[in-house]
Structures are given as C-alpha cells and as structure tokens.
Amino acid sequence: MRKTRHKHRQPVKPNREYRDSMFRFLFGNRKHKDWTLSLFNALSGKDYTDPEEIQYQEMGNVLYIQIREDVVFLYGGSLNFFEHQSTWSPNLPFRMLEYAARQFAAIADKNIKAVYSSRIVKFPKPRFFVLYNGTDRTIPAETTLKLSESYDTISRSEELGNAFDLEVVVHVFNINSGFNESLQEKCRPLKEYTWIVSAIRKETARGRSLKDAIRMVIRRIPESFLIRDEILAERGRVTAMIFDEEWNARQMEKLRNELREEGREIGREEGLEEGLEKGITLEKHETIKVMLGEGFDDVQIIKIARITPEALASLKEQFAKSETH
C-alpha cells in the first residue's frame, strides 16, 4: 500500500477538484447571465437591463472546500460577491474579507507600477450578499453581519476600546419557503430554486432517501419553470450537486448538535477547556476525518469541531498511521 508518512505535517492546499453547487450552477451560468442580473436587481433594489455587462470573476486559490458556492462578478462599477449557505456561520464577514482581498490583489497585480506611484489606483465598490436556505428557523428574513462583531473588545479604555479601522458588512437573506417572498417574486429562478430545495426536504421528511427524493423532485419540476430545461439537460450533475450540498449540511448540523450537547456535559464535569481536549467521540472522530478528506484546513476544523490544535494534530497523526497499514 502507498506510504503516506508525514502526510499530517504537510500544509493543506486549496482543493482544485471542486464541484459547483446548485446555486453557482444557476447564478454563475454564463449562458444565463439574465438569471444573475435578475438576482442582483432583486437583492440590490436596482433595475438594470443589460446582462451582457456582467463580468464573472474567479476566486483564485482561496478554495479549501470541495463544494464551491460563490458567484463573483463585476457590474455597474461594483464587485459583487454572492454566496449561498445551507449552514449558518457568524464568520461570513471574515470569509468575504478574504475573498475581496484576493480580488483586489488581482486588480493591483495588473496595475503593479501604479500601486507604487503617486496616482491612485481605482477599485470597484465591493458588495457582499449571502442567501441562506438552511434548516435553522430562527434566522431572520434579513440581517446584516459585521466584521467588527468579531473584534476582541477586552480593551475598554476611552482611547482605544471601540476604535477600529476596518469593517465588512454582509447582507444576509433567508430564502427558505415562507421568507422573503417578495424578493423571490422579483427573481423567478431564485423562487424556482427554493421550490426544488423545499420539495426535496419535504420528501426526505416523509422517509424517502435523499437520492430518491432528489430524482423524484427533478422529474416533477413544473414545465413553466425557467430553470427546468437547464436542470434536465444536466440531470446527473445536478443530482450530485444537490446530494453533496444536503449531505454536507446535515453532517455539519449533526456535528454542531453533538458538540453543543457534549460541551454541556463535559463542561459540567471537567470544565470546558479540559472537555474540549478530551471530548472526541467516535462520531466526531469520523466527522473530522471526513472534513480532512474534503480539504478543510486546520483553522476551519478547530473552529467547527471545537477541539484544540494539539488534539487535531494527534488525530491527523493517527489517520496518517492508519493509512500506512
């Protein structure tokens, strides 16, 4: 069997073998820029009419996960970041900051001499939008997340306590059935996408397997849907996309629920710090293994799984040893 000694010591590299998400398949589709423009108008309150002005941008090497959910494009002097999320995270502003920094760096690279000259280099105005369709019913219809909410506010001196010079604002829209219906009316492809996700979840709630539910709902997409032909033409690919998204969302939610309960129990008995060090159940052990296989980096795993860096290093060493036997 192939040797993988010291594999755990190698830095995690961006995953190039990604699959598009259903959201990116629809709204990052170069054949249907009109769908992207429709979503942009609905979210921004604009009424632009020329989809050919849309210039899609790639995210470069910031990708660390298997499923890619972002759509980035230039339009009307603004650089627009759209992201779909089926799992809630308060750290979206930081991720958007990273995305924007990569895009701005690419623009600066094209004007490298001007960056160091006396002439100001112009950048497009960034806008950040997240569309949430996870299962947490407590997420409001609309909300904003700010990077400043993550700042360490231990210092409370009058001079420095509330001072900061960097802010990122992310506009979050809940697109589940029953939320933001007026928004969905303004963007038919978004409404149709929401219908598909909702229908699949209803079928799985009735006991149908996820794959069977996806296949059945795709067969039943109404003929009036704008996105129907595109989905049917790529039926196999779309089925894989939706399956991966829903499976990953369920695994992350399962892990979060386990960690909440486990943290309470271990925290009561041993204190939170010691509990995080020792509290790695078999289920969490397997979930972390999956996350490593999916290309999550150490920082992401430590935050999501709430384990110490030392515990993660120990697990990675165990996994590496098991692969050599």
| Residue range 70-103, pLDDT digits in tens | 899 999 889 999 998 888 888 899 989 988 998 9
Amino acid (one-letter) located at 32: H
Tell me: pLDDT of 36 over 90.
Answer: yes
Residue 204 covered by a domain: yes
Higher pLDDT, 9 or 317: 317
Residue 263 to residue 253: CA distance in whole angstroms: 15
Parent domain of 252: 7-151+161-270+278-323
Residue 47 covered by a domain: yes
Residue 233 to residue 235: CA distance in whole angstroms: 6
* pTM attached to this predicted model: 0.70
Which pLDDT belongs to residue 269?
45
Residue 223 to residue 210: CA distance in whole angstroms: 23
> pLDDT above 70 covers what percent of the chain?
74
pLDDT in tens, 154-164: 555 555 556 78
Task: State how many domains the chain has.
Answer: 1
Tell me: pLDDT of 66 over 80.
Answer: no
Going by C-alpha positions, the residue among 249, 297, 319, 317 that lies closest to residue 15 is: 297
pLDDT in tens, 130-159: 999 888 888 899 999 999 888 876 555 555
Kindly report the average pLDDT of the chain as a whole number.
79
Residue 1 covered by a domain: no
The single-letter DSSP state of residue 14 is: P
Residue 156 covered by a domain: no
Residue 2 covered by a domain: no
Token pair, residue 290, equals: 């999956």
